[in-house]
Amino acid sequence: MAVQRENHREDVAGRANVEDTPELLAYYDALDRHHAGALWTVANKIEPWEPKSQSVPVVWRYRDLRDHVLRSIDLVTPEKAGRRVIYLNNPGRTDVAAAVGWIYAGLQVMKPGEVASAHRHSASAIRFIMEGTGAYTVVDGHKMTLGANDFVLTPNGTWHEHGVSAEGSTCLWQDGLDIPFVNAMEANFYEVHPDLRQAVGHPVDDMTKTWGNAGLTPSGGDWQKGYSPMFKYEWAPTYEALGRYALCTDGSPFDGVMMDYVNPVTNGPVMRTLGASMQMLRPGEHTKAHRHTGSYLYHVAKGRGYSVINGQRFDWQERDIFCVPSWAWHEHVNLDDRDDACLFCLSDLPVMRALGFYREEAFSDNHGHQPVK
Ligand SMILES: [Fe+2]
Ligand SMILES: [Fe+2]
C-alpha cells in the first residue's frame, strides 16, 4: 500500500523538499508497515507557515433555518431525541460536527411546558436566547429565567436542565459548546442526573442578582471555581453598557464598540474554554480588516449589515449566525445609517490566550479594507 503523504515542495532552506524515487517510495512503505513515517513527507503540512483553518466562512440565515428547526417539534420529542437541536455543520468540519474550528453550535427549540432531563458533561456551554418567552435553565440548583439576547452558562461539570414554563411560548435558542475541543483532548464525560430533574435550592435568578451588579461584588463573597458565578448575562444591561461606553470612546478600528463579558471575580473570561463578547457597530460604521488566531461565531443580536471574510461578502440580519475561522481576514459593516447593529460573539479566545497562541494582524493595504471578490 502506498504511503499517504503531502509533499508541499517549496524551495526554501530548512523546508522539506525531497523528490520521490523508487527507493524512497519502498522505504516509506517499509516504515508504514511499522506504523512510522519519514517526517520530511509531512513536515510542511503539519508545520505550516501560518494557521490554515479547515473551517470555511459560512452564514446561517435564520429565515432559511427557522422553519426547519420548528418542524423538529413534530418529528421528535425531547425525551427521544435527548435534546431537540439542529446543529450548524461547517462544510470543512463535518468530521467533528463543528460550526467553526473547535466550537460546536446548534439551534434548539422547546414548546411551553417541556423540560429536558438534567445532565452534566465535560463540555461547557453558552445558551443564547433567540425568541420566545418562559425559557429557563437550572444550573447546580440555581434557576435562571431567560429572555431574548440573554445568555446562560452551563460550565464544565455543572448539572443543568433547560425548560420552558407552561405559560411561556415556543422558545428557540443558540447553543454554543466546546464539544469538538473537549473531544480533541479526549476528555469528554457525559452523565444523566439520577433523579432526571434537579431540585431548585435558591431564589430564582439569585446568581445574577448577587454577582451581576456593575462595580460591586458581595462583601465576603467567595467563589473559587474556574468559571463565572454570574451564570446569566442579560441583554438590557449589556446594551446599556455599550451605549454608555460609546459616548466616550472611538472604539476599535476593527471591532467598533466592543465589550467582553467577564467573570466578576477574576475579570477574566466567563469560562475557561469559551469567551463571549458583544460589539456594537455604530450607524453606518465600516470597520477595518484584521485577522487573528481563534475561532469566532457571531450571532446578530440587532440590526443588519455584512462582513467581508477572506475577501468574500456575507450579508446578515438579526438572528443570523456567521463564523470567522482562525486567521481569516474580516471586517464588519452596519448597513443602517440611523441605528446601531450588535454582534454577539462566542470564541475560543480564552484557550488561545491561556496557551500563548493569540496573534493579531491588521490588513495594511487598500486603507485597511479587503478587495471583495
Ligand atoms: Fe448539556
Ligand atoms: Fe476580529
pLDDT tens-digit map of 238-259: 999 999 999 999 999 999 999 9
Instruction: Answer yes or no: pTM beyond 0.85.
Output: yes
The rounded Å distance from CA 338 to ligand 2 centre is 24
Nearest to 206 by CA among 144, 137, 253: 144
- The distance of Cα 200 from the centroid of its chain, to the nearest Å, equals 28
| Mean pLDDT value of segment 81-105 | 96
Q: E strand or H helix at 46, and its extent?
A: helix 43-46
Name the closest ligand to CA 289. Answer: 2
pLDDT in tens, 50-92: 999 999 999 999 999 999 999 999 999 877 888 899 999 999 9
For 111-139, write each residue's pLDDT tens digit.
999 998 899 999 999 999 999 999 999 99
Eight-class DSSP state of 41: G
- What's the whole-number mean pLDDT along residues 324-346? 98
Q: Which ligand is nearest to the CA of 362?
A: 2
| Burial class for 227, CB neighbours closer than 10 Å (0-12, 13-18, 19+) | buried
Residue 13 has pLDDT above 80, yes or no: no
CA distances from 183 to 188, 256, 276 (A): 6, 34, 21
Is pLDDT above 50 for 197?
yes
Ligand 1 centroid to residue 211 C-alpha, Å: 23
> What pLDDT score was predicted for residue 187?
98
Residue 346 has pLDDT above 50, yes or no: yes
- Could you give all domains of the chain from N- to C-terminal order, each with its CATH number? 1-49 (no CATH), 59-368 (2.60.120.10)
Report the pLDDT value the prediction gives residue 1, as an integer from 0 to 100. 36
Ligand 2 centroid to 237 CA: how many Å? 23
Q: How far apart are CA 325 and CA 81, in angstroms?
A: 30
Q: Which ligand is nearest to the CA of 82?
A: 1
The pLDDT > 90 percentage for the chain reads 90
Indicate if the pLDDT at residue 9 is higher than 50: no
Question: How does residue 15 score in pLDDT terms, banded at 50, 70 and 90?
Answer: confident
pLDDT at position 8 is 43
Q: How far is the CA of 255 from the centre of ligand 2 (A)?
A: 6
In the prediction, which pLDDT does 6 show?
Answer: 44
CA of 100 to the centre of ligand 1 (A): 19
Give residue-wise pLDDT tens across range 245-304.
999 999 999 999 999 999 999 999 999 999 999 999 999 999 999 999 999 999 999 999
Spatial contact of 176 and 151, defined as CB atoms under 8 Å apart? no
**Ligand 2 centre from 267 Cα, in Å?**
21
Q: What is the pLDDT of residues 157-183, one digit of tens each?
A: 999 999 999 999 999 999 999 999 999
DSSP codes, 217-262: --TT----SSS-TT-EE-HHHHHHHHHHHHTT---BTTTBEEEE--
* pLDDT computed for residue 5 by the predictor: 42
**Ligand 2 centroid vs 159 CA: distance in angstroms?**
33
What rounded mean pLDDT belongs to the chain? 95
pLDDT of residue 11: 57
CB neighbours (10 Å) of residue 28? 17
pLDDT value of residue 217: 93
